[in-house]
Structure 1
Amino acid sequence: MKDRYNRTIDYMRISITDRCNYHCVYCNPDKFKFLSHNDILRYEEILDICKVAVKLGIVNFKVTGGEPTVRKGYLSFLRQLKQLDGVKQVTLTTNGLLLDPHTMEELKDIGIDGINFSIDTLESKKYALICGKDTLDTVLNNLLYGVSIGLNIKINVVVGPLFTINDLESMIYFFKGLPVSLRFIELMPLGSNKRENKIEEVQSYFTSQYDIEEITEKLGNGPAHYIRVKGMKCVIGFIEALHHKYCHECNRVRLSSTGQLKLCLFHKNSIDLKPYIDDEEKLEEVMRESIYMKPEQHHFEDEQSGTVMNQIGG
């Protein structure tokens, strides 16, 4: 469907849990309180919302958390979502810790269209400092297994205050020979996060050190823009909410695990869909009217957002 600014809204990010087995420094709030199980939507309720979303033209879905793999039954949910009439694409964002080979094989059988691994450094001690667990080797082994069985893999790297050129160089060395997408994400000022301009340093590094070519075709559903680097199998992507503001082409809405429809990551307001789930006609009406009123743009460049990342999945 189209919103009032004539943008086509065809992509929904679904947070199925606020819980996570990591405690990343830029994501979790200082004082942590998980939702109770009774507060979050049942999978059947999420699927009911997705059915209506498809009727509105939203056919691409990203499943997130928290960490989605910690919620029991998520694989069955992914299979049901993938099999819904009209669904075009289902992808998963994860820290990768729980994706053992058996699970990866099941994801392939489900027909998952892509898996995004969140990995901010390849230095084990720093990895543990960022996320609270020294589990980098397990995550990398799971990622490499996914590549080996032909899954579409992307690596999301948040360019935060601890990120250095050494991190960048080690990432390039490790992933350059793999058919993956290596994406660098500008840290957004959520909660206590401060604005960083390190994403520009990363881009300048590629420009000065490599022979690069802009990729004009769209890769994936999100706002990343990509380059090819001569001699590398991997493609390089950048997601810059501040320095490359993409609100004019934003195609997404977000569904929280509690049933809140969030129209923009910056804006704290949301629409509670839970009261309408048992009335498909009313649910469609509320979703249509709400999405039509999606805000024109964020204001991350000027203000801090009160959005809590672990509750909305990025």
Structure 2
Amino acid sequence: MPARKIAIVGSTNMDMVVKAERIPVPGETTLASQFFMNPGGKGANQAVTVARLGGDALFITKVGNDVFGRQASRLFDEEGIDSRFMLEDPELPSGVALITVDKEGENSIVVSQGANKALLPDDFTQPLLHELEQCKMVLMQFEIPMETVHFIARYAASKGLKVIINPAPVQELPGSLYPYIDILTPNKIEAGLLARVEIKDTETAKTAAGVLLARGIKKVIITLGAEGALIGDESGMTLIPALKVSPVDTTAAGDVFNGALVVALANDKPVADAIRFACRAAAISTTRQGAQASIPYYNEVIAGVMR
């Protein structure tokens, strides 16, 4: 039977969330209506999404020797995630994210990387690399060092794994990384910054996708929020519409999209169908509070369950 396991290499954070009327401007103090803490981190969110949607998830991450790291370990076990290669840094704390959510469900996020920034190529021992080779694809983000992303992308490509990169939080990609990327999944802000194109509508999104494809990436999928997602490859550009919902919190929507996308692709779904599935899962997540608390299960996505 062909491998269907999905490796997620990325961050684990504790999200500290406040809900307010609006996101404050620089120098402004506002009062919050709610405060709560949720397990998060782009890597962890995507790994939980893969597991809840029926995927076989191998999660490679690094946490601190603290209460947040121990809590994350228990959570991954409960979710059925293979976290044998969850590493612990003896000095740095676990990562945290400070999140403000406004009344429209939009958010502003500041991340303190903590142990995430110490997940380095030297951590990838031979047993870990051997386990990675048993996977069908690897999904990464940018809350870990770029040198690690580059190392894993190159190694995975050399072993025939598909490489999916969600370039968030956005930063400049080294030119040598592009040829190893099978699918790049920026949102419209990230795509605009990477391509140096101001994305105002679908047509400017197509322009940005074209710029990124010209750098050697095989497929670009730009998520456009309520408009859906644009896929660009050598065959052209296609817009996949989103499920219409009334969002309350968009915190983990991008992570849910990416996790759902790789689950569908690992099950050999055509890319357009995989994007439809991912758009549906992400839309449902925006109708719920929190990061991992908002991630739907497979039966909920199929049924279109909101709550």
With normalisation by structure 1, the TM-score equals 0.40
Which structure is higher in strand share?
2
Compare relative contact order (CA 8 Å, sep 6+) and give the higher one, 1 or 2.
Answer: 1
With normalisation by structure 2, the TM-score equals 0.41
